[in-house]
Chain A
Amino acid sequence: MGFFLETLFGGLMAGMLYSLIALGFVLIFKASGVFNFAQGAMVLFAALAMARFSEWIPQGLGIESKVLGNVLAFVAAMAVMVGVAWVIERLVLSKLVNQEGITLLMATLGITYFLDGFGQTIFGSDIYKIDVGMPKEPIFLFQSVFEGGVLISQEDLVAALIAALLVAVLALFFQKTATGRALRAVADDHQAAQSIGIPLNRIWVIVWSVAGFAALVAGIIWGSKLGVQFSLSLVALKALPVVILGGLTSVPGAIIGGLIIGVGEKLSEIYIGPMLGGGIEIWFAYVLALLFLLVRPQGLFGEKIIDRV
């Protein structure tokens, strides 16, 4: 029982991190109808920027304090992500208005390649570490309930808390602020939003910046766990089944999808994996999403797809 719970919690934590990346996908899809394949590359780019700035800024300015250095690096990395969002809107999206979803998907594939190459060119392609002072020691829970208790990594716990916080902040931003309202309006209907005077271009820059922010947070958490390196951009591939499982247009879908995938992946690895030779984590999420879509083609919370001639 203790072991099962441990796996379950591990899955939930991992799922939270997937949701964090999936959130970026959903935000952009909701507001601009673009399936942003580049979210993974943005995570890598943001993490690289953060890792390198937290090295360069204290060196350059002679700052001793680690907290101040990290804060400055975070601000600088965020500024870079806003810049990336602006450039993408200017050079790519504004030229592809009213194109089909597939065309936009392929354009973001191009952006993925560009960001991967560009990030590694300017920031270097070694393995870097981000140290934001996440606690590393594992803790034991429920020691009074079970023999030996349940082992949980504090780092995961903090990460999950941050992810939950981010979701709450984004929800507030979307529901309570004027900009958030404008974003939702654009998501509902581009033309209607434009006709009442919402500037589409600016909204897209904002959305991509928000997605950049989500990427930065995801990048910092993943980066301090695994180190910042190229494979980080592949982590995002794991978030893809999360998005389609939850439904492309639903923020709660991204969270719940992430948790389902995270838990399913860990449990299946332990309980089904040995029967099939192990390592089934790589494809389990995809096959799960695929089978689920056969029953509900729009995902858990996605909008129903209606075709008209």
Chain B
Amino acid sequence: MLYRENGQFKTSYRADQQIFPILQDRVAIGLLLVFAFAVVPLVAPEYLFRAILIPFLILSLAALGLNILVGYCGQISLGTGAFMAIGAYAAYNFQVRVEGMPLIASLLLGGVCATIVGVLFGIPSLRIKGLYLAVATLAAQFFTDWAFLRIKWFTNDSASGSVSVASLQVLGFPIVTPAQKYLFCLAFVVVFALLAKNLVRSHIGREWMAIRDMDVAASVIGIRPVYAKLSAFAVSSFIVGVAGALWGFVHLGSWEPAAFSIDRSFQLLFMVIIGGLGSIMGSFFGAAFIVMLPIGLDILGVRVGFDTAFAAHLTFMIFGVLIVFFLIVEPHGLARLWSTAKEKLRLWPFPH
């Protein structure tokens, strides 16, 4: 009754091409942003920031990046963790080695380094396709795992192999408290989500989707596979790299290569599958779901009284079942459920 578009006439192309064509959506998103930026930092307890909100924001950024590659361009990657690691370590090196490097610049430069390596590992995708490519991307994962463990230069010759960053500052403002970290991440996520959304509905995004749906047909109608695939790899690994840098700098503070292991790659892939392949919104749903599920199970475990080992195994099992469930029942993930709900709501309460 409240949610419908009757009477909202579009009189210009501009109005027709808005991201949220329905007024109620725009209002809701506006309110959500106000709530996230202004209300949450004031009221949320510290635990919520540390355990849920900050990991959720950063991982949804990484999932967003992966979704561009897997969901939009159809190039499956099992090496996302590697690009996060490259982002994090590159940003660390810029921060440590260059005197007076601004934080945001080193985070973005971390993303640039991830882009370069991403394009490098994307080159095989021009020849290798499908399942073979999926396995080949694992090469990136294992190679970076090894490189950051063994090549001492990357870790600034730290004896323990783990690196840590000192106090974070942006334009003179310190980023110390969880609320400040949260706002910092939120700003990144909002900007990147907006950029990604606009990118996927531009001509580049359409090229990606054409390649995904059928690459031979796409090249017949004049889309250059080289350009489309490599740009997807570049954009994806840039976003993933920045997310990795944020994960290291803001969430962890000090980290070692194990933080970006193959489990991280799978976790991100699951977020994308459960959230919805080829949907910006879906990346957020998927990240929220996967960040929250283990915490929820832990709390449940404490209530019901099973031990942590069992809770961990149960998490594995539930992840596994959910992946299969979503692939069978709703291959488009939570995002599709969301849009179905919206369709229903439009007609409610008189669906005729």
Q: Do A and B come from one complex?
A: yes
User: Chain A residues in contact with chain B, CB under 8 A?
Assistant: 35, 91-92, 95-96, 99, 101-103, 105-107, 109-118, 120-121, 125, 237, 240-241, 243-244, 248, 276-280, 282-283, 286-287, 289-290, 293-294, 297-299, 305, 307-309
A-contact 0/1 string along B316-337, CB 8 Å cutoff: 1111111110011001000000
Given A35-B131, A102-B130, A286-B136, the answer on whether A109 and B266 have CB atoms closer than 8 Å is: yes
> Which residue of A is nearest B325, CB measured?
A110
Pairwise interchain contact A277-B138, C-beta atoms closer than 8 A: no
Supply 11 further A-B pairs (C-beta < 8 A) apart from A110-B322, A117-B315, A244-B135. A106-B323, A106-B327, A107-B323, A109-B269, A118-B317, A282-B142, A283-B139, A283-B143, A286-B139, A287-B139, A309-B216
> Which residue of A is nearest B329, CB measured?
A95
Number of A-B contacts (CB under 8 A): 144
Return chain A residues, CB-CB under 8 Å to B262: 237
The listed residue (A92, A114, A117, A289) touching B135 by CB distance below 8 A is A289
Pairwise interchain contact B310-A113, C-beta atoms closer than 8 A: no
Q: How far is the CA of A294 from the CA of B328 in the complex (A)?
A: 33
Pairwise interchain contact A286-B151, C-beta atoms closer than 8 A: no
Return chain B residues, CB-CB under 8 Å to A96: 327-328
Pairwise interchain contact A125-B131, C-beta atoms closer than 8 A: no
The listed residue (B135, B217, B270, B316) touching A240 by CB distance below 8 A is B135
Q: What's the nearest-Cβ distance from chain B to residue A237, in Å?
A: 7
Q: How far is the CA of A121 from the CA of B216 in the complex (A)?
A: 46
The listed residue (A103, A121, A276, A287) touching B310 by CB distance below 8 A is A121
Q: How far is the CA of A60 from the CA of B19 in the complex (A)?
A: 66
Pairwise interchain contact B135-A103, C-beta atoms closer than 8 A: no
Interface on chain A toward B: helix, strand, loop, or mixed SS? Answer: helix
Q: What's the nearest-Cβ distance from chain A to residue B135, in Å?
A: 5
Q: How far is the CA of A165 from the CA of B124 in the complex (A)?
A: 36
The listed residue (A107, A118, A237, A305) touching B327 by CB distance below 8 A is A107
Pairwise interchain contact A240-B131, C-beta atoms closer than 8 A: no
Pairwise interchain contact A305-B317, C-beta atoms closer than 8 A: no
Q: How large is the interface on B (under 10, 10 to 19, 20 to 34, 35 or more residues)?
A: 35 or more
Pairwise interchain contact A102-B316, C-beta atoms closer than 8 A: no
Pairwise interchain contact B324-A92, C-beta atoms closer than 8 A: yes
Q: How far is the CA of A286 from the CA of B78 in the complex (A)?
A: 13
Given A105-B131, A109-B269, A286-B138, the answer on whether A121 and B317 have CB atoms closer than 8 Å is: yes
Q: How far is the CA of A282 from the CA of B273 in the complex (A)?
A: 28
Q: What's the nearest-Cβ distance from chain B to residue A82, in Å?
A: 20
Pairwise interchain contact A286-B142, C-beta atoms closer than 8 A: yes
Return chain B residues, CB-CB under 8 Å to A243: 135
* Residue from the set B134, B142, B220 with the largest chain A CB neighbour count within 10 Å: B142
Q: What's the nearest-Cβ distance from chain A to residue B133, in Å?
A: 9
A-contact 0/1 string along B231-255, CB 8 Å cutoff: 0000000000000000000000000
Q: What's the nearest-Cβ distance from chain A to residue B6, in Å?
A: 39
Pairwise interchain contact B320-A286, C-beta atoms closer than 8 A: no
Pairwise interchain contact A111-B131, C-beta atoms closer than 8 A: no
Q: How far is the CA of A110 from the CA of B278 in the complex (A)?
A: 20
The listed residue (A102, A121, A309) touching B220 by CB distance below 8 A is A309
Minimum-distance CB pairs A-B, first 6: A114-B320, A117-B316, A110-B323, A113-B320, A286-B139, A117-B317
